[in-house]
């Protein structure tokens, strides 16, 4: 008979200790559980200790101030997407969070969970990289901070050890004239997994000239990819069609998708370019609306 | 012959009797029954799409603590091949047994090979892993065109093509060939000024019911047994289980639970005989529930097809010849809905020269099951697409082309009957006159239409109406309610009895509690079971009048029945239903009536749909932006549920057209065994589906009712794909019109 132990510590210290003391059996951290519970049901030989982080207050809140955003990784997407203040500053991040699952799922699913599950198709990861977010990680030896693009290391893999926990997601305040956007492609309108995704942040000067950009593509490589060549295609331009097409072509060229039931290599390469162009236009429009 | 009547209850939008239970969660579905001492079961399934079973060793599973019984095909008695009618389709009972538990060969990935019952689900799951099966792997055949090749691996050594002039001596994957013809096809094409000819393809699809197959069973010491399950036809569950286990019908009681969708998929069985064997061996009740993955891998989908269609017409639009070759995948065992496909493919049109050939072909996929108008959507997709292409070539409006050739009263249908009153022309006129059809289109948008024909079925129904002493009514029927039919039954009883619909309680009795009922399928229930209700209710009225006549000591012809009250026409004395029923004990006994019948004259229902789509030229994604479903109901008993049938069928057909398909890898393993990657449309994917109820009364029914449950799934495939064709300027002849396929078409056009 398989027994799964469940713990719900009140503090991160306790949580880290539970994980580092657990050497005799597989353990997993539980946030919203929208990935983990599904995996538990379909896996044989899954975790035997589950550490629920939702009772730890600092995992569940979000602070937006002059330093930027400090996001508790387990705050559910429904709570995040209801935060108008955060949406105003990081609309791309919030729209990515809004794409995860249904309304019901969003009451459980979290940005931190999406990040730690480290799926190549995760919607929030390109959006987080586009806004230069970093991961504050806590473990038995203290804390460390890692950019999101370095956090995810492979398909379902990240840089955390088995006794480390993602403590906060830290996002700098965007520079003046900056806005972000995230788009994904799915064959339906919702309740699906990205065939391709693109997160874009652009900074425009008063003349509408792009002075900085970050372009990130998702679901077209083992991890979300920051594509500097795509950003370079926009910088210095007034976001004209040629610049946008060049950015799209750079994104397509940087992608290395697989053929699977959700899309072919050729389709994904094409569509990720389309999404890059469209997301860049949305981000630029957002700057102009500010 | 029906006539225009003023109805009091028919045509109203009453509250459905099962609504509260479903909304509050009180309703009990297939997996909801738990019995004392009950065991939990799990099925061991094949990891190969095609293999010979060398050995099954269950000893380790049996030795696991908590395991109470293990079953394999060796526990089924040897039975001979025999055809059993199940719903609209039929099954060979020997094949059905082998589909429930594989014997000698596994024929698809997920094919059941053994089952375990244990004291917990976890132990049953573990025990299944301990069953050791030795296989000799064989090459799977996954496509109908591969399967018919001379050198294709053969699934069944004892399957010889039926329907050929001479019985073949070598086995084949082609189970049957069928041919229908009329006139001279070559002469018909010779007369034509314009000919269109094309190949069409449709994928394997799922009915999309949300509730997985489930049952709880009990086999008692005295040989009596009980099956609780979700099914469209509990009498067919009884019949097929009895045949597989060689039991008498009276020893099996089947109770139909509430059903979470069926659409044809719950007209056959997968679990019940297996669970009953486990119960018999263990002496305990057994619950056996499929998970979603098992539903996809091992229950019956809708057939994939490959068709070739050729249609010729004169310049004025007169169609002179229609020809088709239709290949249907049956899955692991013979019996695809090829025959209805052949019979309906060109039936909306009155054409002199017609030739259709059909082939029923086995492949290494699960045995197909019925899916809403089984066989028709695939065949009519091809035919209607061809008609749309022909209209383009003739530069004619596609509705006008159809009107010019439409079947009508007196048209000789190729499958046998001469049509009585039918509503195709009325549906086409309604489409032509709709605001939708006249509305303008925008950039990247396209519009098309398609018609659909379905026979509808009658079959057998039995009902009892019991009058309670307070004048309220229990209507006992045996047709599982998959579309709101209890509401319709109560309304028809109310109409005949003159008693308010709220005072009438319709129930679905178990197989011991009411006479035989055919499965709910073929859009038969409101038509046929409704006829039995009307007949029984008329008998009740007659009895009540007799009782009143006896009380008043007058002759029967002096009693009228008005709004549920007996009226003495001589002195205007009145006796209410409640008064008559309260006194029934002293006037001749309780009042009750029954009716059992086999309904003839199920009127065909024609549908015409109009679809508008917008195609994203950069991604190939298709959005349905406006949709209208028009259909002949004969007479709509409950217009709300008739509209619901139109909308539901349209939604399923749109899914079939745009995104739904089973994706198999090269080993015959289904890659998208779940609703994440098997994409049925979401509410947000669809516009509000507009409906028009056309009413051309069915002359064979007292109210003019036609079945309405199925025709609505037929037109969307061609209407949507032709609308996509019109939006992008490339003919889409392969379904689904998924974004990669549409983008490829756009790119091929531009290159």
**Tens digit of pLDDT for each residue in B36-74?**
999 999 999 999 999 999 999 999 999 999 999 999 999
Q: Regarding beta strands B305-313 and B194-202, do their DSSP bridges make them parallel or antiparallel, or are they unpaired?
A: antiparallel
Residue B548 pLDDT > 70, yes or no? yes
Q: Minimal CA–CA distance to B119: which of B82, B50, B67, B161?
A: B67
**Tens digit of pLDDT for each residue in A129-146?**
999 999 999 999 999 999
pLDDT band at B751 (very low <50, low <70, confident <90, very high): confident
CB B327 within 8 A of CB B177: no
Residues on chain B touching A193 (C-beta within 8 angstroms): 676-677
pLDDT of residue A25: 87
Residue A45 pLDDT > 80, yes or no? no
pLDDT of residue A1: 59
List strand residue ranges (DSSP E) for B277-427, in order.
286-289, 305-313, 319-331, 353-362
Residue B1 pLDDT > 50, yes or no? no
What is the nearest CA distance from A275 to chain B, expressed in angstroms?
9
- Which pTM does this prediction carry? 0.96
Q: Alpha-carbon distance B545 to B558, whole Å?
A: 9
Residue A44 pLDDT > 80, yes or no? no
Q: Give the percent of chain B with pLDDT over 90.
A: 98
* CATH 3.30.365.10 applies to domain B375-456+603-750: yes
pLDDT of residue B5: 72
**Tens digit of pLDDT for each residue in B599-654?**
999 999 999 999 999 999 999 999 999 999 999 999 999 999 999 999 999 999 99
Query: Which H or E run includes B428?
Result: helix B424-432
Alpha carbon separation from A289 to A98, A236, A277, B57 (Å, rounded):
21, 20, 19, 71
Query: Phi first, then psi: what are they for B305, rounded to 5°?
Result: -140, 155
- Give the SS3 label for residue A36: helix
In DSSP notation, A221-247 reads SSS-EE-HHHHHHHTTS-S-HHHHHHH
Task: Say whether B659 and A185 touch across the interface (CB within 8 A).
Answer: no
Task: Say whether A189 and B684 touch across the interface (CB within 8 A).
Answer: yes
Residue B506 pLDDT > 70, yes or no? yes
Residue B563 pLDDT > 90, yes or no? yes
Task: Name the fold adopted by B19-26+458-599.
Answer: Aldehyde Oxidoreductase; domain 4 (3.30.365)
B454: its two tokens: 């379905």
Q: Where are the domains of chain B?
A: 19-26+458-599, 375-456+603-750
Q: How does DSSP classify residue B226? A: E
B317: its two tokens: 């639009």
Residue A28 pLDDT > 90, yes or no? yes
| Residue of B672, B684, B740 with shortest CB distance to A267 | B740
- Give the SS3 label for residue B442: coil
In DSSP notation, A171-225 reads EEPPPTTEEEEEEEE-SSSSSS--SEEEEEEEEE-TTS-EEEEEEEEESSSSS-E
Residue A105 pLDDT > 60, yes or no? yes
**Tens digit of pLDDT for each residue in A215-274?**
999 999 999 999 999 999 999 999 999 999 999 999 999 999 999 888 899 999 999 999
Q: Alpha-carbon distance A209 to A240, whole Å?
A: 10
- Give the SS3 label for residue B227: strand
Q: Alpha-carbon distance B110 to B431, whole Å?
A: 45
pLDDT band at B213 (very low <50, low <70, confident <90, very high): very high
pLDDT band at A2 (very low <50, low <70, confident <90, very high): low
**Tens digit of pLDDT for each residue in B464-491?**
999 999 999 999 999 999 999 999 999 9
pLDDT of residue A40: 85
The answer to whether B19-26+458-599 and B375-456+603-750 have equal CATH topology is yes
Question: CA-based Rg of chain B, rounded to a whole angstrom?
Answer: 27
Q: Which stretch of A25-39, A136-150, B246-260 has the lowest confidence by average pLDDT?
A: A25-39
**Tens digit of pLDDT for each residue in B570-588?**
998 999 999 999 999 999 9
Query: Which H or E run includes B549?
Result: helix B530-552
Q: Alpha-carbon distance B184 to A14, whole Å?
A: 86
Query: Which H or E run includes B386?
Result: helix B376-394
pLDDT of residue B267: 96
**Tens digit of pLDDT for each residue in B373-390?**
999 999 999 999 999 999
CB B528 within 8 A of CB B596: no
Sign of the dihedral defined by the CA atoms of residues A226, A230, A234, A235, in that order:
positive
**Tens digit of pLDDT for each residue in B403-418?**
999 999 999 999 999 9
Task: Say whether B740 and A264 touch across the interface (CB within 8 A).
Answer: yes
> Which residues are registered as beta bridge partners of A218?
A197
Residue B596 pLDDT > 80, yes or no? yes
Alpha carbon separation from B175 to B94, B205, B346, B625 (Å, rounded):
15, 21, 23, 42
| Residue of B671, B685, B743 with shortest CB distance to A267 | B743
What is the rounded average pLDDT of the residues B456-462? 96
Q: Give the percent of chain A with pLDDT over 70.
A: 98
Q: How does DSSP classify residue B528? A: I
- Give the SS3 label for residue B608: strand
**Tens digit of pLDDT for each residue in B342-371?**
999 999 999 999 999 999 999 999 999 999
Q: State the best of B125, B671, B743, B751 to mutate against chain A, taking most chain A CBs within 10 Å.
A: B743
Range B538-545, long-range pairs (CB < 8 A, 24+ positions):
B538/B496, B539/B465, B539/B593, B539/B594, B539/B595, B540/B465, B540/B467, B540/B496, B540/B497, B540/B591, B540/B592, B540/B593, B541/B496, B541/B497, B541/B498, B543/B591, B543/B593, B544/B467, B544/B577, B544/B580, B544/B581, B544/B591
Q: State the best of B125, B682, B686 to mutate against chain A, taking most chain A CBs within 10 Å.
A: B682
Q: State the best of B679, B683, B741, B748 to mutate against chain A, taking most chain A CBs within 10 Å.
A: B679
Residue B671 pLDDT > 70, yes or no? yes
Query: Phi first, then psi: what are they for A254, rounded to 5°?
Result: -75, -20
What is the nearest CA distance from A187 to chain B, expressed in angstroms?
7
**Tens digit of pLDDT for each residue in B125-146?**
999 999 999 999 999 999 999 9
Residue B2 pLDDT > 50, yes or no? no
Task: Say whether A187 and B681 touch across the interface (CB within 8 A).
Answer: no
Q: Tell me the ipTM for this assembly.
A: 0.94
> Which residues are registered as beta bridge partners of B288?
B41, B215
Q: Alpha-carbon distance B477 to B517, whole Å?
A: 8
pLDDT of residue B132: 98
What is the rounded average pLDDT of the residues B702-721? 97
B89: its two tokens: 């389709």
Q: Regarding beta strands B473-477 and B504-508, do their DSSP bridges make them parallel or antiparallel, or are they unpaired?
A: parallel
Find the closest chain A residue to B684 by CA distance.
A189
Q: Alpha-carbon distance B289 to B272, whole Å?
A: 10
A149: its two tokens: 């693009």
Mean pLDDT of chain A: 95
Could you check whether the bond before residue B732 is cis, i.e. omega within 30 degrees of 0? Answer: no
Going along chain A from its start, the domains and CATH numbers come out as 5-52 (3.30.43), 57-172 (3.30.465.10), 178-289 (3.30.390.50)
Separate counts of helices (H) and strands (E) for chain B: 21, 28
Q: How does DSSP classify residue B14? A: P
């Amino acid at each position: 008979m398989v027994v799964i132990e469940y713990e719900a510590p009140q503090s991160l210290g306790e949580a880290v200790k539970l994980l580092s003391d657990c050497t005799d059996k597989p353990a997993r951290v539980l946030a919203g559980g929208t990935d983990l519970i599904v995996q538990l049901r379909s896996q044989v030989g899954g975790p035997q200790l589950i550490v629920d982080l939702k009772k730890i207050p600092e995992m569940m809140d979000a602070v937006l101030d002059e330093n930027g955003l400090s996001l508790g990784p387990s705050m559910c997407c429904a709570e995040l997407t209801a935060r108008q203040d955060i949406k105003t500053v990081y609309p791309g991040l919030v729209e990515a969070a809004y794409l995860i699952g249904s309304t019901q799922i969003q009451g459980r699913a979290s940005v931190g969970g999406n990040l730690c599950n480290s799926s190549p198709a995760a919607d929030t990861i390109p959006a987080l990289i586009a806004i230069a977010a970093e991961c504050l990680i806590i473990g038995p030896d203290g804390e460390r901070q890692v950019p999101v693009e370095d956090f995810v290391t492979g398909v379902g893999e990240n840089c955390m050890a088995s006794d480390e926990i993602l403590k906060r997601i830290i996002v700098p305040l965007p520079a003046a004239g900056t806005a972000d956007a995230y788009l994904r492609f799915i064959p339906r309108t919702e309740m699906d997994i990205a065939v391709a995704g693109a997160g874009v942040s652009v900074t425009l000067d008063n003349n509408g000239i792009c002075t900085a950009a970050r372009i990130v593509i998702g679901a077209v490589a083992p991890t979300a990819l920051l594509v500097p060549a795509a950003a370079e295609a926009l910088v210095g331009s007034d976001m004209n069609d040629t610049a946008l097409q060049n950015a799209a072509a750079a994104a397509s060229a940087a992608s290395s998708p697989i053929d699977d039931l959700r899309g072919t290599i050729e389709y994904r390469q094409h569509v990720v370019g389309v999404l890059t162009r469209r997301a860049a236009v949305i981000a630029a429009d957002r700057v102009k609306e500010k | 012959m029906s006539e225009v009547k003023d109805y009091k209850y028919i045509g109203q939008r009453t509250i459905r009797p099962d609504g509260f239970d479903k909304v509050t969660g009180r309703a009990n579905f297939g997996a909801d029954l738990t019995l004392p001492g009950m065991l939990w079961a799990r099925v061991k399934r094949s990891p190969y799409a095609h293999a010979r079973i060398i050995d099954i060793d269950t000893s380790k599973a049996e030795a696991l603590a908590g395991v109470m019984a293990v079953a394999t095909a060796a526990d089924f008695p040897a039975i001979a091949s025999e055809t059993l009618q199940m719903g609209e389709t039929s099954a060979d009972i020997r094949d059905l047994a082998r589909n429930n538990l594989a014997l000698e060969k596994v024929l698809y990935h997920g094919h059941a090979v053994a089952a375990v019952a244990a004291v917990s689900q976890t132990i049953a799951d573990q025990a299944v892993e301990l069953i050791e099966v030795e296989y000799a792997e064989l090459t799977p055949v996954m496509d109908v065109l591969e399967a018919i090749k001379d050198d294709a691996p053969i699934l069944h050594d004892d399957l010889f093509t039926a329907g050929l002039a001479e019985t073949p001596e070598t086995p084949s994957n082609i189970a049957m060939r069928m041919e229908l013809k009329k006139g001279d096809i070559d002469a018909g094409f010779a007369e034509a000024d314009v000919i269109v000819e094309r190949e069409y393809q449709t994928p394997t699809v799922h009915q999309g019911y949300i509730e997985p197959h489930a049952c709880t069973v009990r086999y008692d010491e005295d040989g009596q047994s009980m099956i609780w399950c979700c099914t469209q036809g509990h009498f067919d569950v009884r019949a097929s289980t009895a045949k597989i286990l060689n039991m008498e019908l009276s020893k099996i009681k089947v109770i139909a639970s509430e059903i979470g969708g069926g659409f044809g998929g719950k007209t056959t069985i997968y679990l019940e005989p297996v669970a009953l064997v486990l119960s018999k061996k263990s002496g305990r009740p057994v619950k056996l529930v499929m998970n979603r993955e098992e539903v996809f891998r091992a229950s019956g989908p809708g057939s994939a097809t490959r068709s070739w269609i050729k249609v010729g017409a004169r310049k004025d639009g007169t169609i002179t010849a229609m020809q088709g070759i239709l290949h249907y995948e049956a899955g692991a065992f013979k019996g695809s809905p090829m025959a209805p496909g052949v019979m309906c493919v060109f039936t909306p049109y009155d054409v002199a020269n017609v030739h259709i050939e059909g082939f029923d072909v086995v492949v290494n996929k699960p045995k197909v099951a019925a899916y809403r108008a089984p066989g028709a959507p695939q065949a009519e997709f091809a035919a209607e697409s061809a008609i749309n292409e022909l209209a383009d070539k003739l530069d004619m409006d596609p509705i006008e082309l159809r009107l010019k050739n439409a079947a009508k009263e007196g048209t000789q249908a190729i499958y046998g009957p001469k049509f009585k009153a039918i509503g195709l022309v009325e549906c086409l006129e309604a489409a032509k006159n709709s605001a939708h059809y006249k509305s303008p289109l925008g950039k990247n948008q396209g519009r098309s239409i398609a018609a659909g024909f379905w026979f509808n079925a009658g079959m057998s129904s039995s009902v009892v109406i019991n009058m309670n002493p307070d004048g309220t009514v229990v209507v006992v029927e045996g047709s599982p309610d998959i579309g709101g039919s209890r509401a319709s039954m109560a309304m028809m009883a109310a109409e005949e009895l003159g008693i308010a619909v709220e005072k009438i309680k319709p129930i679905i009795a178990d197989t011991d509690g009411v006479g035989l009922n055919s499965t709910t399928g073929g859009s038969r229930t409101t038509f046929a079971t409704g006829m039995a209700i009307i007949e029984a209710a008329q008998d009740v009225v007659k009895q009540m009048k007799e009782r009143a006549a006896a009380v008043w000591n007058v002759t029967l012809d002096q009693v009228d029945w008005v709004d549920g009250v007996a009226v003495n026409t001589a002195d205007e004395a009145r006796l209410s239903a409640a008064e008559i029923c309260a006194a029934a004990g002293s006037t001749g006994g309780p009042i009750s009536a029954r009716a059992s019948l086999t309904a003839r004259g199920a009127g065909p229902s024609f549908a015409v749909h109009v679809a508008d789509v917008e195609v994203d030229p950069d991604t190939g994604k298709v959005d349905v932006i406006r949709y209208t479903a028009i259909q002949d109901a004969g007479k709509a008993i409950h217009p709300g549920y008739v509209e619901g049938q139109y909308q539901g069928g349209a939604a399923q057909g749109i899914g079939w057209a745009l995104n739904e398909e089973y994706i198999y890898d090269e080993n015959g393993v289904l890659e998208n065994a779940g609703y994440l990657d098997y994409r049925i449309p979401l509410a947000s994917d669809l516009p509000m589906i507009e409906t028009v109820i056309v009413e051309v009364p069915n002359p064979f029914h007292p109210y003019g009712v036609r079945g309405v449950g199925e025709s609505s799934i037929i037109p969307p495939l061609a209407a949507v794909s032709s609308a996509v064709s019109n939006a992008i300027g490339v003919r889409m002849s392969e379904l689904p019109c998924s974004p990669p396929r549409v983008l490829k078409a756009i790119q091929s056009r531009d290159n």
